[in-house]
Amino acid sequence: DAGVIQSPRHEVTEMGQEVTLRCKPISGHDYLFWYRQTMMRGLELLIYFNNNVPIDDSGMPEDRFSAKMPNASFSTLKIQPSEPRDSAVYFCASSLRQGGQPQHFGDGTRLSIL
């Protein structure tokens, strides 16, 4: 069984550039989550989707961040323009449904903005 697949694994880019992170959830999962992990703020939820529809984007830090889920097997998180404070590890996760269902995480994208 393929797990959640994220790409790229590492991204280094200069401030002001557009960054696009990609995620392929586990087939059949209804929910998709984007998280950001930093030393200062820990693991924080940015946005989540149910059946490809954004449900809660209250964690998205500002308008420079956007996320889409055009179909059940693909999602993107975009940062435009990127800033050094966006440097973090970004995780995508998917789950079957809410409640006590565990989330399955990808291995993350380590983003460095110079």
Partner 1 sequence: DQQVKQNSPSLSVQEGRISILNCDYTNSMFDYFLWYKKYPAEGPTFLISISSIKDKNEDGRFTVFLNKSAKHLSLHIVPSQPGDSAVYFCAATGTGKSTFGDGTTLTVKP
Binding site for partner 1 (CB under 8 A): 4, 33, 35, 42-45, 48, 50, 55-56, 91, 93, 98-100, 102-108
Asked if residues 23 and 74 have their Cβ atoms less than 8 Å apart, the reply is yes
Q: How many residues does the chain have?
A: 114
CB of 73 vs partner 1, minimal distance in Å = 18
CB of 13 vs partner 1, minimal distance in Å = 20
CB of 70 vs partner 1, minimal distance in Å = 22
- The residue among 18 and 56 lying less far from partner 1, judged by its C-beta, is 56
Residue 91, number of CB atoms within 10 A of its CB: 23
63: Cβ contacts below 8 Å, ≥ 6 apart: none
Q: Which amino acid would we find at residue 64?
A: R
- The residue among 14 and 99 lying less far from partner 1, judged by its C-beta, is 99
Residue 107, number of CB atoms within 10 A of its CB: 13
CB of 16 vs partner 1, minimal distance in Å = 28
Give the integer Cα–Cα distance in Å for 14 and 34.
22
- The residue among 78 and 104 lying less far from partner 1, judged by its C-beta, is 104
